[in-house]
Amino acid sequence: MHHHNYPCQGGQPKAGQGSDDKDKAERQHELMTGRQVEPIQLRGNEAVADMIDHCFAGSGFNGRRLAEACQLYSRMLEAGATVGLTLSGAMTPIGMQGVLIELMEAGFVDWIISTGANLYHDLHRTFDFPVTQGHWAVDDNDLADAGVARIYDTFIEDDGTLLATDQVILKAAEKLPAEKPMSTAEFHWRIAEELTRMAPHAEKSFFLAAKKLDVPIYTSSPGDSSIGMNLAVPLLAGRPIVLDPVRDVIETAALVRQADKNGVIHVGGGSPKNFYLQTQPTLHQILYDAEGGGHDYFIQLTTDSPHWGGLSGATPSEARSWGKIQDANLNNVVVYSCASITLPILAQYVLVRNRNRPLRRLYQTLEKSVADLKANAMKNPELSSQFQ
């Protein structure tokens, strides 16, 4: 049994062997060498990281999966992997941007693919616009009549939050160049620069922190959020800010290509999840690049099940069949639980157990990474006819 591949040990997936290879007693002994499941001892494990290592890791089901994810993230960082994080679901309306800020500051997240909605809602508290705890069991007709929008059990105001944030985005967008298409990473970097000047509490925003730390942020579907909706105004006014999704495909593949090892934390699933994973097929399938061989580490925090056939429930073993990850069984963990619970625990574990890493500042090296990818593609005989 290999502790470095399966931190909680025991019951690892294994290639099937015929009954002739080992007799029943030998195979039984081999299967039963995992950690004994004993009654959980809370006393002495008051700290979160100690609970993970000494309580959750010694239990089962998704408590154990969470422990495996925490320990895998720790090993990923120790191995020097470039860590991507994908973000879907309503994470920033419930304060999860604070978790992301600390991970980025520690050098534990190097680049991000987020829904546009998470970036938009991240800005509310940065500008002192109200986001309050409400309740899920309410009359939504009453909320609508009162000018309050609901995100499950969280309330925001129509005028005081949504329209106010729209005005902030439009004011910042006025300062952006409109002469050439740009990737979403460049757009986010540029608009974050303007928003930082305007914001009374820039320290509350992971969007603005990413700009400060040169952590590139991509949005795989930029039109599918209020930020994209707001860009309709400058376009109609004759000064369009043009986002180029194909540049995102190239840049994200270049980030993965330049890394010695790659790992990902998928918070939820959705479009950001696949946009990250497709970087590997972009390299080996589309660009015939020898650097594309599958991501090294995979963690997903999700409530989606694989048996419906949807992408967010797609397992890492399925991703292996597409060449998106290195191995169907090793160094990947899916935790089936709400990310509002698991993400802070996962983050706190590595913030306690791991030393801070030097910031990679990948945004500043992005141009070179893309140039290297292009140079390799241009000299590839499989693509020679495309560059004539």
Report the catalytic residues.
Answer: 324
By DSSP bridging, strand 148-151 and strand 131-133 are: unpaired
Closest CA to 97 of 215, 234, 262: 215
Judge whether 364 and 185 are in contact, CB under 8 Å. no
The full DSSP string for 125-143 is: HHTT--EEE--SSS-HHHH
Alpha carbon separation from 84 to 52, 87, 218, 301, 349 (Å, rounded): 23, 10, 11, 14, 18
CB atoms under 10 Å from CB of 167, counted, come to: 12
Specify the 3-state DSSP secondary structure of 239.
coil
Q: Which residues pair with 266 in a beta bridge?
A: 86, 300
Alpha carbon separation from 374 to 58, 293, 370 (Å, rounded): 48, 18, 6
Closest CA to 92 of 143, 129, 147: 129
Which residue type occupies 222? P
CA dist 153 and 134 (Å) reads 5
